[in-house]
Structure 1
Amino acid sequence: MRFEIRCKLEKKVISTDYRRKVLSFFKGSLEEYNKDIKKAIYDDPKRRNFTFSVYLPVERIEKDEIYLRNNYIKIFLSVENMMEALHFLNALIGSKGKTFSMGENSFVAEKIHRRIEKEIIRGEAVFRALSPIVIREVREGKNSWYHDFDEKGIKILKKNTLYNLKDRFSKSLLEEFEIVPIKTKRTVVNFYKSKFPVTLGDFYIKGDKKILNYLYKSGFGSRSSAGFGMLEIIE
């Protein structure tokens, strides 16, 4: 299920590290709705089956601050699991009209509605990244290395994807999985005061339709539940 949350900011400026504030909003909403459900969704170390993106009406960016044309932003949330989606919806409805802090700013969720979710019926699709794709490699000593969407990065992305899906899909379904960039660009994001490269743009994926639908609904790449890797089907 996909949702759109329209929010009004107190000020027309927001930190480039805004994703962690959105995470706090989700966690706080779920905590107030049901502590056990929040714990089940966020405290389990297994892969989380949701992702989000944020639309910002950007006017300009200066250092670590984004100046906006107006004080409205939109948060788009995609949740693969139906029951979790309903819990999120109930929690978000309960959060309407309440003020949430964003450091030196704050926002209020004013409107929440469900968006149309497409269904992939073939074993291939062209996607557009609504939020940046993170290609993260954990090296010896648990240090992270972030890759571009180049030949080596795609190899790491495919390896990570297949590893994360091995307990959900059979080996035979995972064998024919291919990622091909179409038009992508590199950018750098600020997340929990750490900056690393990410990728935006369009790319092609070949694979079983069940896998493609799962990635479309739950997110693609690393850190998907933290606001990265939300996909839109464009073909």
Structure 2
Amino acid sequence: MRLKIELHARDTKKFPFNYHYQFSSAIYLLLKFSSPEFSDFLHNIGYKLNGKPYKLFSFAVKFENYKTTSNEILLESPRIHLIITSPKIDEFIKNFVIGSFERTFCYLSFGGDEHKLLIKNMELLPEPEIKDEMRFTLSNPMVLSTLKEYKGKLSPYYLRPEDKVDINRILAGNLRSKYELVTQIHSKGNVELDWDEDYLRKHPRVTKKITINEHGRFPVDVIGIQAPFKIKGDPELIRIGYECGFGEKNSMGFGMAEVVYS
């Protein structure tokens, strides 16, 4: 299920490019106003499978009218749209809606400065029909990683578009795990992803490095891929990707995708 929330920035016209951590924190805070226990569980523990936690939600931020500089987003309109997705309707969606109505605003903190965003409107978005072959665009980069040896120790390696075999193996396993957590049913389904080759030819660089918690004590750099893609296979796994986000670090907004209607 997806919600579209209209926000108004009251006291700032500038946003850094690395805003994912701050909006994720604002979402957890709104959940906390409805259910502190659920917010703490989701933030600190998450839904676990084989010892690995999943948050089972993602989001995208869309600025209505803006310009960019080398390191900032400059708003020309105060209106911002926050789209949130999760299959956990009773736990996540309802708590977020209640928290939003309770608070009517959210706070973002950038570089020690706190900014207030008013919650002006909220609407439920219609669900698309999910088939065994779909086309998507990414609102935020898709992050997929594996461990590789580097200088004698295993380190995360973030996959690039040319890592097709690893992309499909890791993405399918990630979607099967999310499906099992949501439905309590083990899936043997599979999916196969193909990036839009025309887009790749026109855009030689589709990887993006994003810093999470840029101004905090422990900033983390991740690399994701942002390009349109086609995915075919088990429609239930494709639906889970649409509802939770494709790939990793979905609670930071990564892997949020929109259906391309041809």
TM category (shorter chain) comes to 0.7 to 0.9
Counterpart for residue 38 of structure 2: 37
Corresponding position: 1:49 with 2:56? yes
| Shift in CA distance, 195/37, structure 1 to aligned 2, threshold 3 Å | closer
How far the C-alpha of 1:4 sits from its partner, in A, is 1.5
Corresponding position: 1:61 with 2:75? no
How far the C-alpha of 1:207 sits from its partner, in A, is 1.2
Mapping for residues 1-16 of structure 1, pairs under 5 Å:
1-9=1-9, 10-16=11-17
Counterpart for residue 111 of structure 1: 120
How far the C-alpha of 1:171 sits from its partner, in A, is 4.8
Q: In structure 2, what residue type is equivalent to 1:62?
A: S
Corresponding position: 1:189 with 2:206? no
Mapping for residues 35-184 of structure 1, pairs under 5 Å:
35-45=36-46, 46-56=53-63, 57-63=65-71, 65-83=72-90, 84-97=92-105, 99-102=107-110, 103-139=112-148, 143-150=155-162, 152=163, 154-167=164-177, 168=180, 170-174=186-190, 177-182=191-196, 183-184=199-200
Report the 3-state secondary structure (helix = DSSP H, G, I; strand = E; otherwise coil) of the residue aligned with 1:21: helix
How far the C-alpha of 1:105 sits from its partner, in A, is 4.9
Q: For 2:237 and 2:122, how far apart are their aligned partners in 1?
A: 26
Question: What are structure 2's unaligned runs of at least 5 residues?
Answer: 47-52, 201-205, 215-219
Q: For 2:6 and 2:254, how far apart are their aligned partners in 1?
A: 19
Q: For 1:121 and 1:196, how far apart are their aligned partners in 2?
A: 29
TM-score normalised by L of structure 1: 0.86
Identity over aligned pairs, percent: 19
Residues 78-134 of structure 1, C-alpha deviations (whole Å, 9 max, x = no match): 111121211122122223145554443513232232232333342110111111111
Number of residue pairs the alignment of both structures matches:
230
TM-score normalised by L of structure 2: 0.78
Cα RMSD (Å) of the superposition? 2.3
| Shift in CA distance, 178/51, structure 1 to aligned 2, threshold 3 Å | same
Corresponding position: 1:228 with 2:254? yes
How far the C-alpha of 1:62 sits from its partner, in A, is 2.5
Report the 3-state secondary structure (helix = DSSP H, G, I; strand = E; otherwise coil) of the residue aligned with 1:172: coil
* Aligned counterpart for 1:198 among listed residues 224, 234, 238: 224
| Shift in CA distance, 67/47, structure 1 to aligned 2, threshold 3 Å | same
How far the C-alpha of 1:205 sits from its partner, in A, is 0.4
| Shift in CA distance, 107/148, structure 1 to aligned 2, threshold 3 Å | farther
Q: In structure 1, what residue type is equivalent to 2:194?
A: V
Q: In structure 1, what residue type is equivalent to 2:76?
A: R
Report the 3-state secondary structure (helix = DSSP H, G, I; strand = E; otherwise coil) of the residue aligned with 2:54: coil
Question: What are structure 1's unaligned runs of at least 5 residues?
Answer: none
Q: For 2:73 and 2:7, how far apart are their aligned partners in 1?
A: 16
| Shift in CA distance, 207/54, structure 1 to aligned 2, threshold 3 Å | same
Tell whether the 8 Å contact from 1:120 to 1:213 is kept in structure 2 after alignment.
no
